[in-house]
Amino acid sequence: MRVQFQAIFPAQPVTFSRKKNQMDKYRVQPGSIIYLNEWDPNDKSAFDDKDEGKTLTKQLNKELEDLQELLYAEAKHNVLIVLQAMDTGGKDGTIRHVFEGVNPAGVNVASFKVPTPEELSHDFLWRIHKRTPAKGEMVIFNRSHYEDVLIVRVHELTPEVVWRKRYDQINQFEQLLVDEGTTILKFYLHIDKDEQKARLQARLDEPHKRWKFAKGDLDERKLWPQYMTAYEEMLSKTSTDAAPWYIIPGNRKWYRDLVISQVIVDKLKALNMQYPQPEADLENIVIE
């Protein structure tokens, strides 16, 4: 008889399982109009206790390790996680803390910087598509195709008639990925301008962080209102049932990590993945 193997995960603490459904409050409903001044970057309403929250994040991290291994073994699903934020918003920190311990054989991080001449000679999604995950893989976009409706818009790098079309083009692109079996989760890490100031100052004050500081960050900071407008329209026009955006309160790093971890774990569990069946007649094998 062949046995069907299933993944078994430890039960979540009761104190947090009651809070789990509150994560939906951070999901941008399709068709809604977003005003970021209505979203509190200091919010911690789903969980108040910082120390216990950090402990729960570690528990969720262990679950994520197991689920990612299952994703890799089953090789039927693929997962794309998109991180967008202002400078100092916490993309690198999120990757370090939320994905700590996952198997690097099945997880890749793709960072999109200034396009190369070759990339500029193609459509704006060309360089993106070839970095999307294959079956069994999880890929994290540290910045993404959304730069083409953010920095391109704010700095007027292309005419408005060009970048405005990209909302629909992005939605169609992501729908294609979903139709082919990709699960997409998109997180906007929401910090306020005061928090950015404090984090930039920390980069100047702490020698081991100074390498991260660029004078150009100050020029970008002056454009904060323009970026907020661009992000608001991006979130309003590209959060879909197939590929939703989550606005994550980002001023508290521990809370940011907790919310993102919970959303990802819940989504992976909902895939109902199973380990592949082993070969037949393994019971009589003797390894000498």
The pLDDT tens digits for 174-221 are: 999 999 999 999 999 999 999 999 999 999 999 888 998 989 999 999
The structural domains of the chain, with segments of one domain joined by +, span 14-270
Q: What is the pLDDT of residue 259?
A: 97
The CATH superfamily label for domain 14-270 reads: P-loop containing nucleotide triphosphate hydrolases (3.40.50.300)
Q: Which two tokens stand for residue 282?
A: 């393994």
In the block, tokens 């100052």 appear at 201
Q: Does position 46 have pLDDT exceeding 70, yes or no? A: yes
Residue 14 pLDDT more than 60?
Answer: no
Please determine, for residue 18, whether its predicted confidence score (pLDDT) is greater than 90. no
What confidence score (pLDDT) does residue 179 get?
A: 96
**pLDDT score for 19:** 56
Q: Tell me phi and psi for residue 121, to 5 degrees.
A: -80, -5
CA distances from 284 to 2, 93, 149, 279, 287 (A): 13, 48, 60, 12, 10
Residue 248, beta-bridge partner list: 189
- What token pair was written down for 49? 């206790």
pLDDT grade, residue 20 (50/70/90)? low
Q: Taking the mean position of all CA atoms in its chain, how far away is CA 85? A: 10
Average pLDDT (275-281) is 82
**Residue percentage of the chain with pLDDT more than 70:** 93
| pLDDT at res. 103 | 85
Whole-structure pTM over 0.85, yes or no? yes
User: Is residue 46 packed enough to be buried (19+ CB in 10 Å), middle (13-18) or exposed (0-12)?
Assistant: buried
Nearest Cα to Cα of residue 81 among 271, 261, 237, 229: 261
> Strands (DSSP E) along the chain, which ranges?
78-85, 107-111, 138-142, 182-190, 245-249
- The residues near 223 (Cβ < 8 Å, ≥ 6 apart) are 154
Percentage of the chain with pLDDT > 90? 80
Residues in the chain: 288
pLDDT band at 4 (very low <50, low <70, confident <90, very high): very low
What number is the average pLDDT over the span 35-57? 94
Q: Is it the case that residue 15 has pLDDT exceeding 80?
A: no
How would residue 2 be classed by pLDDT, with cut points 50, 70 and 90?
A: very low
Residue labelled with tokens 């083009």: 169
The pLDDT of 272-285, averaged and rounded, is 84
Enter the tokens of residue 192. Answer: 């306020």
**pLDDT tens figures, 129-176:** 999 999 999 999 999 999 999 999 999 999 999 999 999 999 999 999
- As a whole number of angstroms, the distance between CA 178 and CA 30 comes to 16
Question: Tokens for 40?
Answer: 């509190």
8 Å CB contact between 131 and 113? no
Separation CA 149–CA 235 (nearest Å)? 11
Rounded to an integer, what distance in angstroms lies between the CA atom of residue 162 and that of residue 65?
41
